[in-house]
Every structure is written in C-alpha cells, then in structure tokens.
C-alpha cells in the first residue's frame, strides 16, 4: 500500500486508540492474523496500549479461525485453505475444541454459532484503528451503530446499499489526514468504488465522513461489518 504520512492535529495522536491509555505498542490494522503472507507493504497501524493490543489479538485470532472454518465447512486443520490458520489450530487445541463445538447440524445443514461479543470487539477495534489512521479522529466512545452479518444472508437491496457509494463525500476530511490524501491520490492503491483492498479476498474497507464517521469492512468476502459514530 502507498505509504502516507499523517499531517493532522498532533493532539489526536500519542494515545491508545481503544481506551485512551498510554501508547505502548503499534496495532496493525488489519492484524496480520487476518492476512496471508506476503503481507502488503506499509500496513496501516495505530497506537495502542499493551493490554488492549494483547486482549484484542486473542479475539482476532478467534475470528480469523472461525471465518476460515466456516468458509471451509470444517475445523480439521488439514481441510483449511489458509495454512496459517491450520498452524494456529494445530498448536491451540482449546481453540480448536471451541470451534468444533460451534458447529452444529440444523434442519437445513450445518450452522455455526459465533461468539458475537468477541466478533463485536474485533469489528470495533478495526473500526477504531481506521478512524484514527484515516481521519486522525480516534473514537474512544462507544459507536452509535455496530453490525456485522454474512454477505450471503443479505438481501440484494441490503447488499447493493452496503457496497455502493451512497455515502458521497460532502464533508471534507481534515487537511493532512490520510483520508484527504487518498482523495487526491485515488488510483494509486487498490482503490475501487471507494473501497480500499488491503489484501484481495481477505480484507477491504471504506471510510466515510458524510454524516458522522462510518467504517465498512469486508472480511474474507464473507462477513460484512459496519460501524458508525454519529
């Protein structure tokens, strides 16, 4: 990805973007467990305290493994497509057992029961990193809206609204912020219809500042996520 420096207000920098605590580590967004090697160059990152970074990594690992198992329709490490997830599950029997319990067979075939509180935490974490990185506007408050759902259960109308650019940029991002720079350099990254693909098939997102701050994320082309701060 193109490396962009943030020239925004320094008062919005230097603290954990999740809790406002000390800036002790760098939190990559997305976290590497959601991506495959080779990683994109210049991965985005935001400051985080050690506790938030560690706690959220465990949830991210869970979500990355869950998505892989759901997509593969199996929990057996040798049946998975992403080699990295196979390695994680081989070395983490308790997570593997947890995912095995998450798969049940319903009337219409196998279904997976996600731990929604953990998925919510990951979605919020990713969105907080994006608002800090793209707009230089960290959002420590709870969002006014947070939702995620598999793409396959969306109606055609919901899908079109989610994917479309119905979020025309009628408010301009702060001068110097990365979002402003991306407006000026559209076409240099994998920037399609307002979506920025960090890694094709694994992670894409779009941000919008038209009414509040909105972040949309698509994980594995399977799970659509949306977070809004009014």
Cβ 76 to Zn ion, closest distance in Å?
Answer: 36
If binding is defined by CB under 5 A, does position 19 make contact with Zn ion? yes
Of the pair 25, 92, the CB lying nearest Zn ion is at: 25
Site string for Zn ion, 80-119 (x = CB under 5 A): ----------------------------------------
Binding span for Zn ion by CB under 5 A among 16-24, 54-62, 70-78, 157-165: 16-24
Binding span for Zn ion by CB under 5 A among 2-10, 19-27, 100-108, 163-171: 19-27
If binding is defined by CB under 5 A, does position 52 make contact with Zn ion? yes
DSSP sequence for the chain = -------S-GGG-SB-TTTS-B--EEEEES-GGGS-SSPPTT-EEEEE-HHHHHHHHHHHHHHHHHHHHHHHT---GGG-S-HHHHHHHHH-HHHHHHHHHHEEEETTEEEE---HHHHHHHHHHHHHHHHHHHHS----SPPSEEEEEEGGGS-HHHHHHHHS--S---SPPPTTSHHHHHHHTTTSSSEETTEEEEETTTEEEEEE-SSSEEEEEEETTTEEEEEEE-
From the centroid of its chain, how far is CA 67?
Answer: 13
Of the pair 136, 208, the CB lying nearest Zn ion is at: 136
If binding is defined by CB under 5 A, does position 182 make contact with Zn ion? no
Cβ 212 to Zn ion, closest distance in Å?
Answer: 23
Binding span for Zn ion by CB under 5 A among 44-52, 100-108, 129-137, 173-181: 44-52
If binding is defined by CB under 5 A, does position 21 make contact with Zn ion? yes
Please identify which residue in the block is written with the tokens 């009014």. 230
Cβ 127 to Zn ion, closest distance in Å?
Answer: 15
Of the pair 125, 216, the CB lying nearest Zn ion is at: 125
And the tokens for 74? Answer: 């199996």
Q: Are 70 and 119 in contact (CB under 8 A)?
A: no
If binding is defined by CB under 5 A, does position 18 make contact with Zn ion? yes
Cβ 52 to Zn ion, closest distance in Å?
Answer: 3
> Where on the chain is the footprint of Zn ion (CB under 5 A)?
16, 18-19, 21, 49, 52
């Amino acid at each position: 990805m193109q490396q962009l420096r943030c020239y925004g207000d320094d008062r919005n920098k230097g603290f954990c973007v999740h809790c406002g605590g000390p800036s002790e580590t760098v939190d990559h967004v997305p976290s590497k467990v959601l991506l495959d090697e080779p990683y994109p160059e210049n991965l985005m990152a935001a400051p985080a305290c050690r506790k938030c970074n560690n706690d959220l990594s465990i949830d991210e690992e869970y979500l990355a493994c869950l998505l892989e198992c759901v997509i593969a329709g199996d929990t057996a490490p040798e049946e998975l497509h992403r080699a990295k997830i196979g390695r994680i599950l081989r070395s983490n029997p308790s997570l593997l057992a947890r995912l095995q319990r998450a798969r049940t067979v319903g009337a219409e075939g196998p279904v997976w029961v996600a731990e929604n509180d953990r998925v919510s935490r990951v979605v919020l974490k990713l969105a907080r990193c994006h608002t800090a990185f793209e707009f230089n506007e960290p959002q420590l408050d709870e969002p006014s809206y947070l939702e995620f759902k598999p793409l396959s259960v969306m109606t055609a109308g919901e899908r079109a609204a989610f994917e479309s650019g119905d979020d025309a940029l009628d408010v301009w991002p702060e001068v110097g912020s990365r979002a402003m720079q991306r407006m000026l350099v559209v076409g240099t990254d994998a920037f399609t219809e307002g979506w920025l693909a960090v890694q094709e098939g694994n992670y894409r997102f779009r941000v919008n500042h038209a009414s509040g701050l909105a972040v949309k994320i698509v994980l594995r082309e399977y799970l659509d996520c949306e977070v809004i701060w009014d």
